Amino acid sequence: MIAAKALRLALLAAGTAGGLSGAAYGFLNGQAGHARRVIGPPAAEPLRADGVHLPTGVGPVPRDEVPEDVQPLEMAVLGDSSAAGLGASLPRELPGVRVAQGLAEEVDRPVALTTHAIVGARTQELSAQVDAVLRRPPEAVLIIIGANDVTSKLPVSRCAELLGDQVRRLVEADVKVVVGTCPDLGSIRPIPQPLRSVASRWSLALARAQRRSVEACGGYAVPLADLLSPEFLARPAEYFSPDKFHPSGAGYEAAADILLPVMCIAIGAWQGGPLPPAPTRSETAEARRPTSRVVAHLNRRLHHHRP
């Protein structure tokens, strides 16, 4: 359902941004229908593993099993299906669990994980999750959101502004916020070309706008598309779940590996060496830059063959 809406309404965004002709729009709409049939609806709800995760790797355990003189670090996960871990086959593969367990080991302190992420959530719906978190503010929040924003019919700039508003609310409550920005929808193989290039251009534009907004509001942005797209493109069978749309356990592990150091930096607990600056655009994304020319060529070709 999520993928179907995203693919269908990506066409609206493409038509607005690229000036698609009616024939080109119809052609891409046919491609979106094919991709929806291949991806299909989610087979199940995402797994949950909320609770206290110990530095030994054990967890989740009930809070009453933690010694009274030990105060767990509170961490919450907000966002969409990628934040919730849809596609993971085991609880330990969930991105929130991987980050919580890594954080517990790094700070040598239990981490209490609470997940508020909702499958299908868009940025304009994130405020409800933030409301829930602020009832008892945690020390740290991880947010992954953006892939469903194409269904909101809002401009990229507005989606990023809404995300910044929620990051600001959390930061003002003394919560450390790490945001995994929108993934590259161009890495999803069931989306055929040239629709995949259109989806990629939109998602990368959103990710860049999210990064600027998050950092301006005091949060830490991790450009998932720029850092992970080459891996997902090179090893799709390993990094995608059976639906070929959401990450697999291996895909979430790759994401957690780059989110964890930034989370440690956010709470002042990173013990490793200096991290290199994150790229603003990956080599894989750079190779797809001439998207506008592809769309223009499609318009000309379909116009030439129109009866």
State the chain's maximal CA–CA distance in angstroms. Answer: 78
From the list 50, 243, 248, 282, the catalytic residue is 243
90: exposed, middle or buried (Cβ count in 10 Å: 0-12, 13-18, 19+)? exposed
Stretch among 2-6, 68-72, 110-114, 264-268 having the lowest mean pLDDT? 2-6
Helix (H, G, I), strand (E, B), or coil: what is residue 147?
coil
What average pLDDT does the segment 21-36 reach?
44
Picking from 164, 72, 81, 160, the residue whose alpha carbon sits closest to that of residue 115 is: 81
Cβ burial 97-122 (10 Å sphere, 16+ → b, else e): bbbbbbbbbbbeebbbbbbbbbbbbb
34 is catalytic: no
Mode of pairing for the β-strands spanning 51-53 and 111-115: antiparallel
Model pTM greater than 0.85?
no
Would you place residue 44 in the very low, low, confident or very high pLDDT band (cuts 50, 70, 90)?
low
Torsion angle in degrees (nearest 10) through CA of 274, 279, 123, 197: -150
Q: What is the pLDDT of residue 153?
A: 72
Q: Give the C-alpha separation, 259 to 257, whole Å.
A: 6
Cα 188 from chain centre: 13
**Rg of the chain taking only CA atoms, in angstroms:** 20
Two tokens at 81?
Answer: 């299906």
Identify the pLDDT of residue 259: 94
Residue 10 has pLDDT above 80, yes or no: no
Q: What is the pLDDT of residue 136?
A: 96
Residues 6 or more apart from 136 whose CB is under 8 A from it?
74
Of 81, 203, 241, 248, the active-site residue reads: 81
Alpha-carbon distance of 5 to 153, in angstroms, equals 11
Q: Which two tokens stand for residue 146?
A: 């953006």
**Residue 225 and residue 233: Cα distance in Å, rounded?**
11
Round to whole Å and give the CA distance between 130 and 150: 21
Q: Among candidates 202, 292, 218, which has minimal Cα distance to 11? A: 202
Residue 81 appears among annotated catalytic residues: yes
- Whether residue 208 contacts residue 239, with contact meaning beta carbons closer than 8 Å, is answered with no
Given pLDDT bands bounded at 50, 70 and 90, which one contains residue 302? very low
The answer to whether residue 80 is catalytic is no
Residue 275's φ and ψ, nearest 5 degrees, are -85, 140
**Rounded-to-integer distance, Cα 233 and Cα 237, Å:** 9
Q: Which of 187, 246, 248, 282 is catalytic?
A: 246
| Averaged pLDDT score across all residues of the chain | 79
pLDDT > 70 in the chain, percent = 73
Q: Going by C-beta distance under 8 Å and a sequence separation of 6 or more, which residues neighbour residue 138?
A: 74, 75, 76, 112, 114, 175
Domain 2-305 has CATH 1.20.1440.80: no
Phi, psi of 178 (to 5 degrees): -120, 130
Tokens 């000309």 found at: 300
Query: Residue 277: pLDDT band by 50, 70, 90 thresholds?
Result: low
- Segment holding 217, helix H or strand E: none
Write down the pLDDT at residue 27. Answer: 41
Rounded-to-integer distance, Cα 202 and Cα 188, Å:
14
pLDDT 10s digits, 208-247 = 999 999 999 999 999 998 888 888 888 888 888 887 778 9
